[in-house]
Amino acid sequence: MTDVAVPITTRKDWMSDQEVRWCPGCGDYSILAAVQFLMPELEVARENTVFVSGIGCAARFPYYMNTYGIHTIHGRAPAIATGLAMARPDLDVWVIGGDGDMLSIGGNHLIHALRRNVNITILMFNNQIYGLTKGQYSPTSEAGKVTKSTPFGSIESPFNPISLALGAEATFVARTHDMDRKHMMEVFRRAHDHSGSAFVEIYQNCNVFNDGAFETLTGKGVREDMLIPLVHGEPITFGAEQEKGVILDTDGRLRIVLVADVGADRILVHDEANDRGLGFMLSRLSRGPQDPTPVGVFRAVDVREHPEHPEYCAAVTAQIAAAQERNGPGNRRDLLHSGAIWTVD
């Protein structure tokens, strides 16, 4: 970043002049608003901010941000964002995509961006359906889902995006939902401030092709009993009176219990820096929106304390600098004429 002071901005400064064109009532509107409200608080410059997207409803996002933006091709946003982050480490690079875009054709690009720990912030909108192409099942659609492409019901087991990101060893993994702007903003802030790959799953309602998919979790009257907030260093409890909690049972599994039945000292204390699988166990606690489901930060690893997880762009830059110090600046002609060469007449 430059040493020039960042001007004070408001949400309006981050809103582009483009008409926002999603279906009325779409959850994407609330995610967009959360990001636009957050950006002034991050004290970053618009000219140093880039939103990269793939294909799908969510991928329209860059048009609505008054920043630089790239609307790429289907599933390739993490790969293109990786190149951008490598070439311009001074930029804030955000990646926007849906569950179909990122977990189907883009699955490999996503997991390798996470595995490499590239310094990008990935927001994945999960509505468990293909919205732009009009309602086919997606990699996160539940088994038995009847859609235009699964008229007899899907027979596939859906991806668990949080488990997938943790399995790829992403150093920051979180979940939020489109019905809570405050929670979204705090999670997005944490993701942005993280050095390395940050992955955020956002439960997002598609009111046309999959309306109410998360209503059993995010509905105003059920949130306290169905959403399990993860707060670092605090017991994992939920419910109107915090009467329910999560324990690590003697068989090595996490279970939801009544605090009064086991005692407060048995309740598991959340440790987002735990590198031994706690986040993964929490990601498997729920089988779907019918079960109480954790939200918040599952894992946040400080790369400065974990040399086995270096931030990719910085590591490559250091590697090149070390090679140049040993061998001097590279010579393109020598490189092109090294090894086996041939002349074409």
User: Based on the domain organization, do 132 and 249 belong to the same domain?
Assistant: no
Residues 201 and 251 in one domain: no
Q: What is the pLDDT of residue 307?
A: 84
Residue 333: predicted pLDDT: 84
Q: How many domains does the chain have?
A: 2
Judge contact between 48 and 228, C-beta under 8 A: no
Residue 219, in any domain of the structure: yes
Q: What pLDDT score was predicted for residue 152?
A: 97
pLDDT of residue 3: 59
Name the pTM for this structure.
0.94
Rounded to 5 degrees, φ, ψ at 94 are -110, 145
The mean predicted confidence, pLDDT, of the chain is 94
Are 74 and 115 found together in one domain? yes
Percent of the chain topping pLDDT 90: 86
Per the rule left: phi > 0, alpha: psi between -120 and 50, beta: everything else, 342 is beta
Are residue 92 and residue 125 in the same domain, yes or no? yes
> Does residue 285 sit within a domain?
yes
Please give the radius of gyration of the chain, using alpha carbons only, rounded to the nearest integer: 22
Are residue 248 and residue 164 in the same domain, yes or no?
no
Helices (H) and strands (E) counted in the chain, each on its own, are 13, 11
Average pLDDT over residues 30-46: 97
Residue keyed to tokens 């996470």: 114
User: What's phi and psi for 280, nearest 5 deg?
Assistant: -65, -40
In this structure, is residue 342 part of a structural domain? no
| 243, 94: one domain | no
Residue 153 shares a structural domain with residue 258: no
- Whether 31 and 178 map to the same domain: the answer is yes
Q: For residues 280 and 243, state if they share a domain.
A: no
Straight-line distance from the first to the last Cα atom of the chain, in angstroms, rounded to the nearest whole number: 48
What is the reported pLDDT for 87?
95
Rounded-to-integer distance, Cα 288 and Cα 160, Å: 9
Whether residues 230 and 240 share a domain: the answer is: no
Residue 323 pLDDT > 90: no
**Amino acid letter, residue 108:** N
Question: pLDDT band at residue 309, thresholds of 50, 70 and 90?
Answer: confident
152-202 tens-digit pLDDT = 999 999 999 999 999 999 999 999 999 999 999 999 999 999 999 999 999
Q: Are 151 and 129 in contact (CB under 8 A)?
A: no
Residues 191 and 259 in one domain: no
329 within domain boundaries: no
The CATH number of whichever domain residue 134 belongs to comes to 3.40.50.970
Total length of the chain:
345
Structural contact between residues 105 and 55, judged by C-beta atoms closer than 8 angstroms: no
In a domain, 281, yes or no: yes
In a domain, 298, yes or no: yes
Q: How many angstroms separate the CA atoms of 221 and 30, rounded?
A: 19
Confidence of residue 102 (pLDDT cuts 50, 70, 90): very high
Same-domain pairing of 200 and 136: yes
Last residue of a domain, one of 226, 252, 268: 268
- Ordered DSSP codes for 242-296: S-EEEEE-TTS-EEEEEHHHH-GGGSPBP-TT--SSHHHHHHTS-SSTTS-EEEE
Domain assignment of residue 261, given as a range: 236-268
The confidence band for 1, taking pLDDT boundaries of 50, 70 and 90, is very low
- Domain assignment present for residue 330? The answer is no
257 vs 30: CA distance, rounded Å: 33
CA atoms within 13 A on the CB side of 344: 0
**For residue 290, what are the contacts with CB-CB under 8 A and spacing of at least 6?**
216
| Average of per-residue pLDDT across 97-112 | 96
The strand pair at 237-238 and 227-230 is best described as unpaired
Domain for residue 206, yes or no? Answer: yes
- Specify the amino acid at residue 8: I
Could you read off the pLDDT of 255-284 as tens digits, one per residue?
999 999 999 999 999 999 987 799 999 999
Q: How many CB atoms lie within 10 A of CB 106?
A: 27
